[in-house]
């Protein structure tokens, strides 16, 4: 079909006047015929199926049942009355309920006569009931046989008020199929369609709006989901390809003095197999001539820091500078101390720059950075300031990437005439499906192995009512020389209230663990960085046994002697946060514990989160559960949720289709990257159209 016809403004469709057109544009984003065609129902009412009463499920949305009323009575209630009918079939009994229109019901409803009823059911008093059912005599029903499933389109209040009901949308859709003849050109190659047994696009479009059967609906959905995911993958892969071809990077040819000496003589431990593999991947990127854009995923404690250091040493060996950016002051300081220690035998100059660096120090850093005296700069967002200019930045590493936005990433790029190589490290494992959709254009390395000798952290869930036992446990552990974290939630919107929780908690802990026998540190977001650092250091040095804190300690803090993590109001934390917090312990040789404290009131999601934490410590498994509970948009934050604004596919539920779409997109690009072969022409054309009309989001910078 003529593609231009589909670009016709929606105003021209018969049945759409200027008012309706305006509403369709504003409320549903429908500007053209094409947009309307791509406006998919979000559910279907299946009037092809009849349920028996004993088959009803508590969650069944809308159902159709055949049976008869055996009696009707009026029941008085607080305000007015309701009418209740007993309705039976050969499998059981349910009730029909009316709150309005009782006179009409009484005068028109026939007792002991077969009816088809349709509506939503509720479970009440040990029985199903259906309020205000649609009813039709079975005899009538059989005369006007309805075979089709009825689509239900998403709607808005404004649309409903303006009379654009589901029926109207249905009519418009029919009109659209009439005007266009329903002949939509195909957008996938014959090969793909044959291998996956896909129905044609025209057939899929027809059946998504007017399903002829359950089976055809399923096939239509499959085909359209595949298509949507296929084009997203194609975009991501092409972006990656162009990136590799066009964006030249510094070539780090040699592995020299720094790397060599460190690797031969100063490695504090043997690298795990996973660390070795990842270092190799990075080395090969750095030598390839293209700019590296790599995501390094590795669970808390998997040993990303040493990989970061070795990558930076390669940059140094080739005459370049490197920087490492972390999201918090505490973490930057810790990285700085750790790396200085690791490099103490090397001739590298490492500096720290954070928001609280003194002016004189800043000046020194700015100067030495520009004349190349500094090899490695570590710090917070302060690194992004315009004044910070490198002589020749070759590699930028970003730790805990989910806290930095894309804009900040690209700011690092602008610090050079050529973009530096970029490595982003995250300890929040991103489920594979999500990584494929969001970061399909990044290369991904995974450290999926923990250093040897780590003990599993014992995780338990305790109710607040058991607090005394928990206190006793803390006392025993301190007796053994261990240190304890106690963490309170801090959620931005209610910062003052949470702050109070923290202070109340601190006071009760201080009462329970009095000085001078016990020493307690406290760290929270409203403290000055220097005070925070002071308190942290007391804990690091072992001067205090208990650290009371908010989630500011979530990221990176490393105190191997701390072996107990107590999380207060654990039901208020998300899974990835719980996992991060737990990762603060289990860093030394001792058996470590994580205790999740909650009240008795728990939502079912909260229960799932707690059960997940107790049953597994595998970050990827936890991430998958998190994705299922929260949905992708929420998981990645609003910033990136636009990416997941899919029309029909769901990257969690359709992850098999996603994998297959990625496979075929890769295959196509390997065989015919320009999409010029006759059989792939349609794909190339469609891809171009997507670019022009921006139907698929254009999100990663
Ligand atoms: P993360 O991936 O969370 O940043 P770190 O790099 O901080 O992990 O490493 C956690 C701890 O494990 C550190 O104390 C580090 O020295 C240690 N470590 C890292 N790799 C190894 C290894 N291969 N063998 C033994 N210990 C290691
Ligand atoms: Mg780390």
CATH number at residue 76: 2.40.50.140
pLDDT at 267 over 90: yes
Q: What is the pLDDT of residues 487-533, one digit of tens each?
A: 998 755 455 556 677 888 899 999 999 999 999 999 887 888 888 88
Among 616, 632, 650, residue at a domain's last position:
616
Q: State in Å: Cα 375 to ligand 1 middle.
A: 23
Region of 651 please: left (phi>0), alpha (psi -120 to 50) or beta. alpha
Ligand 1, atom 27, residue with closest C-alpha: 451
d(CA 483, CA 557): 14
Give the ligand whose atoms come closest to the C-alpha of residue 583: 1
d(CA 74, CA 232): 58
Number of domains in the chain: 3
Give the ligand whose atoms come closest to the C-alpha of residue 447: 1
Residue whose C-alpha is closest to residue 38's, from 209, 255, 252: 209
Whether residue 96 is found in the same domain as residue 138:
yes
Q: Is residue 259 part of a domain?
A: no
Assess contact for 640 and 700: CB atoms under 8 A: no
Among 600, 616, 632, residue at a domain's last position:
616
pLDDT at 453 over 90: no
The band of 145, judged by pLDDT with boundaries at 50, 70 and 90, is low
Say if residue 197 is exposed, middle or buried (CB neighbours under 10 Å; 0-12, 13-18, 19+). Answer: exposed
Q: Is residue 312 part of a domain?
A: no
Q: State in Å: Cα 302 to ligand 1 middle.
A: 6
Q: What local confidence, expressed as pLDDT, does residue 563 receive?
A: 94
Region of 112 please: left (phi>0), alpha (psi -120 to 50) or beta. left
Q: What local confidence, expressed as pLDDT, does residue 408 receive?
A: 62
Q: What local confidence, expressed as pLDDT, does residue 568 receive?
A: 94
Whether residue 543 is found in the same domain as residue 470:
yes
The band of 403, judged by pLDDT with boundaries at 50, 70 and 90, is low
Q: Is residue 448 part of a domain?
A: no
* Opening angle at CA 441, ends 440 and 442, nearest 5: 95
d(CA 80, CA 75): 9
Say if residue 100 is exposed, middle or buried (CB neighbours under 10 Å; 0-12, 13-18, 19+). Answer: exposed
Strands of the sheet containing 293-298, edge to edge, are 350-353, 376-379, 321-325, 393-399, 421-426, 293-298, 443-447
Q: What local confidence, expressed as pLDDT, does residue 165 receive?
A: 87
Whether residue 66 is found in the same domain as residue 191:
no
Q: What local confidence, expressed as pLDDT, does residue 642 receive?
A: 42
The highest-confidence range among 31-40, 70-79, 249-258, by mean pLDDT, is 31-40
Give the ligand whose atoms come closest to the C-alpha of residue 326: 2
- Within 13 Å of residue 306, how many CA atoms lie on the same side as its CB? 20
Assess contact for 312 and 349: CB atoms under 8 A: no
Q: What local confidence, expressed as pLDDT, does residue 10 receive?
A: 94
Q: Is residue 213 part of a domain?
A: no
Whether residue 475 is found in the same domain as residue 590:
yes
The band of 391, judged by pLDDT with boundaries at 50, 70 and 90, is very high
Q: What local confidence, expressed as pLDDT, does residue 190 receive?
A: 93
Whether residue 468 is found in the same domain as residue 545:
yes
**Domain housing 565:** 458-616
Ligand 1, atom 4, residue with closest C-alpha: 304
DSSP summary character for residue 170: H
Q: What is the pLDDT of residues 273-299, one digit of tens each?
A: 999 999 999 999 999 888 888 889 888
Whether residue 69 is found in the same domain as residue 124:
yes
**H or E element that contains 65:** strand 62-76
The encoded tokens of residue 390 equal 């490198």
Residue whose C-alpha is closest to residue 439's, from 232, 280, 166: 232
Q: What is the CATH number of the domain that holds 28?
A: 1.10.150
Whether residue 472 is found in the same domain as residue 557:
yes
Whether residue 172 is found in the same domain as residue 102:
no
Mean pLDDT of 551-559: 69
Q: Is residue 76 part of a domain?
A: yes
Q: What is the pLDDT of residues 58-113, one digit of tens each?
A: 755 678 999 999 999 998 887 788 899 999 999 999 999 998 888 888 888 999 99
Distances (CA, A) of 558 to 30, 244, 307, 450: 53, 37, 17, 16
Whether residue 466 is found in the same domain as residue 575:
yes
Whether residue 592 is found in the same domain as residue 572:
yes
| Residue 276 CB–ligand 1 contact under 6 Å | no
Q: Is residue 462 part of a domain?
A: yes
Q: What local confidence, expressed as pLDDT, does residue 521 receive?
A: 93
Region of 457 please: left (phi>0), alpha (psi -120 to 50) or beta. beta
| Residue 293 CB–ligand 1 contact under 6 Å | no
Assess contact for 354 and 330: CB atoms under 8 A: no
| Residue 427 CB–ligand 1 contact under 6 Å | yes
pLDDT at 49 over 90: no
| Residue 41 CB–ligand 1 contact under 6 Å | no
62 compared with 657, residue with greater pLDDT: 657
Q: What is the CATH number of the domain that holds 529?
A: 3.40.50.300
How many other CB atoms are found less than 10 A from the CB of residue 105? 17
Q: How large is the greatest C-alpha to C-alpha distance in the chain, in angstroms?
A: 97
Going along 77-217, which residue ranges are E strands?
A: 81-89, 92-98, 115-120, 122-124, 127-131, 134-137, 150-152
pLDDT at 233 over 80: yes
Among 195, 225, 253, residue at a domain's last position:
195
Mean pLDDT of the chain: 86
- The answer to whether the predicted template modeling score (pTM) of the entire model surpasses 0.75 is no
Q: State in Å: Cα 301 to ligand 2 middle.
A: 7
Whether residue 591 is found in the same domain as residue 487:
yes
- Residues belonging to the chain: 701
140 compared with 14, residue with greater pLDDT: 14
d(CA 523, CA 331): 14
Whether residue 171 is found in the same domain as residue 83:
no
């Amino acid at each position: 079909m003529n593609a231009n016809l589909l670009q016709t403004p929606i105003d021209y469709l018969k049945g759409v006047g200027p008012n309706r057109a305006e509403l369709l544009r504003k409320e549903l984003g429908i500007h053209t015929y094409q947009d309307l065609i791509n406006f998919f129902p979000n559910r279907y009412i299946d009037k092809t199926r009849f349920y028996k009463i004993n088959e009803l499920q508590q969650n069944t949305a809308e159902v159709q049942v055949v049976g008869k009323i055996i009696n009707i009575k009026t029941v008085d209630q607080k305000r007015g009355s309701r009418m209740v009918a007993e309705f039976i079939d050969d499998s059981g009994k349910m009730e029909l309920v009316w709150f309005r229109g009782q006179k009409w019901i009484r005068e028109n409803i026939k007792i002991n006569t077969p009816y088809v009823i349709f509506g939503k059911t509720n479970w009440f008093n040990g029985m199903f009931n259906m309020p205000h059912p649609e009813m039709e005599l079975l005899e009538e029903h059989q005369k006007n046989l309805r075979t089709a499933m009825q689509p239900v389109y998403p709607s808005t209040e404004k649309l409903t008020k303006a009379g654009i009901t589901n029926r109207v949308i249905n009519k418009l859709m029919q009109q659209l199929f009439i005007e266009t003849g329903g002949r939509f050109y195909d957008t996938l190659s014959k090969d793909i369609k044959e291998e996956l047994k896909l129905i044609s696009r025209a057939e899929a479009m027809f059946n998504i709006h007017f399903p002829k059967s359950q089976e055809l609906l399923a096939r239509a959905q499959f085909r359209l989901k595949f298509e949507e995911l296929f084009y997203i993958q194609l975009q991501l892969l092409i972006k990656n390809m162009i990136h590799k071809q066009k964006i030249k990077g510094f070539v780090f040819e040699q592995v020299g003095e720094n790397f060599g000496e460190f690797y031969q003589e100063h490695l504090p431990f043997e690298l795990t197999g996973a660390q070795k593999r990842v270092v190799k991947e990075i080395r090969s990127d750095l030598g390839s001539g293209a700019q590296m854009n790599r995501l390094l995923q590795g669970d808390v404690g998997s040993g990303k820091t040493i990989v970061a250091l070795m990558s930076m040493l390669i940059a140094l060996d080739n005459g370049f500078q490197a920087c490492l950016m972390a999201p918090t002051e505490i973490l930057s300081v810790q990285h700085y101390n750790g790396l200085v220690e690791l490099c103490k035998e090397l001739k590298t100059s490492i500096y720290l720059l954070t928001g609280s660096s003194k002016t004189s120090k800043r000046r020194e850093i700015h100067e030495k950075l520009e004349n190349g005296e500094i090899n490695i700069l570590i710090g917070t967002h302060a690194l992004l300031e315009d004044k910070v200019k490198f002589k020749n930045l070759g590699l930028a590493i970003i730790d805990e990437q989910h806290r930095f936005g894309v804009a900040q990433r690209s700011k690092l790029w602008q610090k050079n005439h050529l973009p530096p190589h970029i490595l982003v490290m995250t300890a929040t494992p991103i489920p594979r499906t999500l990584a494929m959709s969001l970061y399909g254009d990044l290369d991904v390395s995974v450290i999926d192995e923990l250093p040897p000798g780590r003990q599993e952290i014992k995780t338990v869930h305790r109710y607040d009512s058991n607090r005394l036992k928990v206190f006793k446990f803390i006392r025993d552990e301190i007796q053994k020389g261990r240190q304890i974290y106690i963490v309170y939630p801090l959620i931005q919107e209610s910062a003052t209230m949470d702050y109070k929780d923290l202070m109340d908690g601190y006071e009760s802990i201080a009462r329970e663990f009095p000085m001078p026998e016990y020493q307690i540190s406290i760290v929270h977001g409203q403290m000055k960085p220097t005070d925070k650092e002071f308190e942290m250091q007391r804990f690091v040095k072992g001067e205090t046994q208990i650290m009371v804190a908010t989630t500011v300690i979530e990221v990176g803090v490393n105190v191997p002697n701390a072996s107990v993590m107590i999380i207060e109001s654990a039901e208020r934390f998300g899974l990835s946060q719980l996992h991060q917090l737990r990762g603060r312990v289990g860093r030394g040789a001792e058996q470590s514990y994580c205790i999740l404290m909650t009240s008795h009131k728990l939502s079912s999601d909260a229960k799932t989160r707690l059960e997940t934490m107790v049953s597994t410590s595998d970050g990827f498994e936890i991430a998958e559960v998190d994705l299922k509970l929260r949905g992708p948009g929420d998981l990645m934050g609003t910033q990136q949720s636009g990416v997941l604004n899919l029309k029909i596919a769901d990257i969690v539920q359709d992850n098999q289709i996603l994998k297959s779409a990625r496979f075929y997109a890769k295959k196509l690009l390997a065989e015919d990257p320009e999409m010029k072969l006759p059989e792939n022409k349609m794909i190339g054309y469609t891809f171009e159209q997507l670019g022009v009309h921006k139907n698929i989001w254009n999100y990663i910078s």
